Amino acid sequence: MCEGRGTRRRVSLALVGEQAPGTWLLVLQDSARDVLDAAEARRIDLALDAVEAAMRGETDLAGYFPDLTGRMPPD
């Protein structure tokens, strides 16, 4: 059973193998695609929050991307 972003569902672990409870997973179409560390999971969760905020009409989304704010892209 997998929980996240207000939902609970059964997902396939075929691509990532068995995981301990509490492990962060990237899930797409009810299939776990990758095992994440907590920091990566938080960045993805904030990006999804930004999409929801943009859909509500918010335009200042910088706070959702603290890892990108204030730095230049690599050359």
Longest CA–CA span in the chain (Å) reads 42
pLDDT of residue 43: 92
Rg of the chain over Cα atoms, rounded to whole angstroms, equals 15
Which is nearest to 47 in space by CA: 63, 58, 33? 63
The strand pairing partners of 34, in sequence order, are 26
Q: How far apart are CA 45 and CA 5, in angstroms?
A: 8
pLDDT of residue 4: 86
- Contact at 8 Å (CB) between 1 and 8? yes
Domain that holds residue 70: 38-75
Considering its fold, how many domains does the chain have in total? Answer: 2
N-to-C CA span, the chain: 42
Residues 56, 73: one domain? yes
Tens-of-pLDDT digits for all 75 residues of the chain? 888 888 899 999 999 999 999 999 999 999 999 999 999 999 999 999 999 999 999 898 888 888 887 777 777
Residues 28, 44: one domain? no
